[in-house]
Structure 1
Amino acid sequence: MAKKAHRPTHDAGYKRLFSRAGMIEALLCRFIPEPWIAQLDFSTLELIPTHWVSEKHHRRESDLVWRVRFGPEGMDFIVYLLIEHQSTPFRYMVVRLLGYVMLFYDWILQQRLLTPSQRLPPVLPLVLYNGRRRWRAPLGLRELIEPVSGGLERFLPSFRYLVLDEAHLPKEVLGPLDNPATAVFEVERSENLEQIRKVIAAVKEMPLGAEGEAIRRDMAAWLRQVVLPARLPDEELPEVEELEEVDEMLAERVKTWPKKWMAEGYQMAGRKACAKS
């Protein structure tokens, strides 16, 4: 019988999935179709530490921070991508992210990572939201500040972030199932085990390059440790490491569930009959 081990959180699952450069490239190229993305040198993607200390000595940590070289003609500098996973809507998300970015900038200065002539690097704050309710929190800080006029508005801070509301992305944005980031979102949107199996089949066939085996193992771990325990809370799930093993496990459950439901139906009918007698 499988042992019930400590279950990783959804945050931990996402952190593992998006700690691969190939996943980040797939995410940006598919879901942020803007001209500046084409100027990124994805071969320079580098995951950096995400813990900083505030003035009150409270440790603050974003989910993930990536750095990548941005090199359009005549320019060459670093862009940072700050990724935050969220399962529930949070009205003041923009305030939290602004705090992360400011602490990150302060960390850069404390580490003396800039020369006197260099400016602070651009940071893109990105929220990956996998909740069922639509994300309606303000995307800009100005939307949360009391509007003023008479010149004072010039001194109000301006800050925005990007959110990918996975459950409500249009099909044309999701695109075909040939991208590992799309695969993650399709699992989140799935309504049954057969749909998850279709995603697994697609991921097994994706040309994922040097990180392919690691990405598939990460996805297998996420499915086994996070997604499936939430979908099948009463099931004893075996320990598996490969996508093929996850697929076999799901195939077996899809096959045996009708018998299980029938048995449960008979038991329920028997209990009702006993209650009437």
Structure 2
Amino acid sequence: MPDKPLHQPHDKLFRTNFRDLPTAIAFFRHYLPRRVVRRLDFSRMALVPGSYVTGRLKASESDLLFRAGLKGSEAEAFVYLLFEHQYEEDRWIALRLSRYRQDIWETFLKEHPGAPGLPVIIPVVIAHNKTAWDVRPRFDWRLFDLPAEGKTDLSAYLPAFDFELLQLAQLPFDKIAGTPLGIMTLRVFKAQREGGAFPASEWVWDESLLARIGTMALEQIFSYIVGRPEFDIVDVEAKVSGFESETVKQTAMTIAQRYIEKGKLEGIEKGREEGIEKGELVGRIHMLQELLGKKITPRKDLIRKSPAQLQALLNRLRSEHRAL
């Protein structure tokens, strides 16, 4: 299936950074079971273009598909990486994975009509959650409305498969493993979802890792940071001012300044009477109202308020978001 446009900030950061093959391979080596890792030939791993997430789920899921050789064989397996960035637990993740697997196999058969058989698909889910989900990483009879006495007689007609589930809520910052790019991407996601003091923590502003990331990837990470209401754009300069790496320092400041200028231009375009300060505050209020599932206050109603009133409303919304 063709690649989808990258509209969601989570989606863009995840898909851009984890399509980097060394980052993906390091992630799989650390988080797939050993019995699986020893079967995969990572020297034959490649990204498969496309996405299998469709419709309304595009707002809460991102995916990447990789193919890898199987050691001692010409056969290949697929590793399907799904990034779940919805807030609430969803017991039907396994059902969606079942549908995505079906779509992957159908696409494979269209492209390889003479294939001797279907490739194995290893599903891996990264949960961008704040609190742990009580989800069994398995699709089996437990998801069906099946009386206990019918299990033995009917289970043969039911599909079953496992998937790997990595929950950021259960993974300490210092236990996130992989390449510097992969580690920093997941740390930033975790800090964003945790809120509170985490966006300002040393785990996000870790120069030892940031200095080992390429400039383009740094731009992606800092663009995500300054574009999220959980991170304070004013703090960017303070965070990087003591860094030794001029590349990291300059990249962070350039992105921050670019975002500030963008906010100013948008404020001007929305109407000079709003003022730059009001325009920026209204934009952040609308973003947080959307994240919290609240009714979006019309811009004309917010513009009537003073900057102090807007700031007070923004602070209340930030407190609600951090309490989630």
Is TM more than 0.5 here? Answer: yes
Write the distance in 1 (CA, Å) between the matches of 2:95 and 2:7: 30
Residues 186-240 of structure 1: CA deviation (Å, up to 9, x unaligned)? 33334142425543432424xxxxxx63xx52243133235652323675989xx
Task: Decide which of 84, 87, 90 is 1:86's aligned counterpart.
Answer: 84
Counterparts in 2 of 1:230 and 1:26: CA distance versus 1, 3 Å: farther
The amino acid that maps onto 1:91 is: R
Counterparts in 2 of 1:167 and 1:219: CA distance versus 1, 3 Å: farther
The answer for the alignment partner of 2:264 in structure 1 is none
Q: What is the TM-score normalised by the length of structure 2?
A: 0.59
The amino acid that maps onto 1:79 is: A
Q: Which stretch shifts more, 85-94 or 106-115?
A: 106-115
Task: Decide which of 250, 259, 262 is 1:245's aligned counterpart.
Answer: 250
The amino acid that maps onto 2:216 is: R
Write the distance in 1 (CA, Å) between the matches of 2:255 and 2:170: 26
Residue 225 (structure 1) aligned with residue 224 (structure 2): yes
CA RMSD in angstroms, aligned pairs only? 3.8
The structure with the greater share of residues assigned to helix is: 2
**Conserved 8 A contact 1:50-1:64:** yes
Residues 42-101 of structure 1: CA deviation (Å, up to 9, x unaligned)? 2322111325699xxxxx996211111121xx4332111111111123221111111010
The answer for the alignment partner of 2:241 in structure 1 is none
Q: CA deviation at 1:107?
A: 1.3
The answer for the alignment partner of 1:96 in structure 2 is 96
Unpaired segments ≥5 residues, structure 1: 1-5, 55-59, 206-211, 253-266, 269-277
The answer for the alignment partner of 1:181 in structure 2 is 182
The amino acid that maps onto 2:229 is: A
Q: CA deviation at 1:131?
A: 1.7
Q: CA deviation at 1:156?
A: 1.2
Q: Which stretch shifts more, 11-20 or 158-167?
A: 158-167
Q: What is the TM-score normalised by the length of structure 1?
A: 0.68
The answer for the alignment partner of 1:255 in structure 2 is none
The answer for the alignment partner of 1:202 in structure 2 is 209
The answer for the alignment partner of 2:117 in structure 1 is 119
Counterparts in 2 of 1:226 and 1:97: CA distance versus 1, 3 Å: farther
Unpaired segments ≥5 residues, structure 2: 1-5, 192-197, 238-246, 258-307, 310-324
Aligned residues: 230
Q: CA deviation at 1:30?
A: 1.8
Larger RCO of the pair (alpha carbons < 8 Å, separation 6+): 1
The answer for the alignment partner of 1:263 in structure 2 is none
**Between the two proteins, what is the percent identity of the paired residues?**
18
The answer for the alignment partner of 2:108 in structure 1 is 108
Task: Decide which of 146, 153, 156 is 1:154's aligned counterpart.
Answer: 156
**Conserved 8 A contact 1:67-1:79:** yes
Write the distance in 2 (CA, Å) between the matches of 1:153 and 1:25: 36
The amino acid that maps onto 2:169 is: A
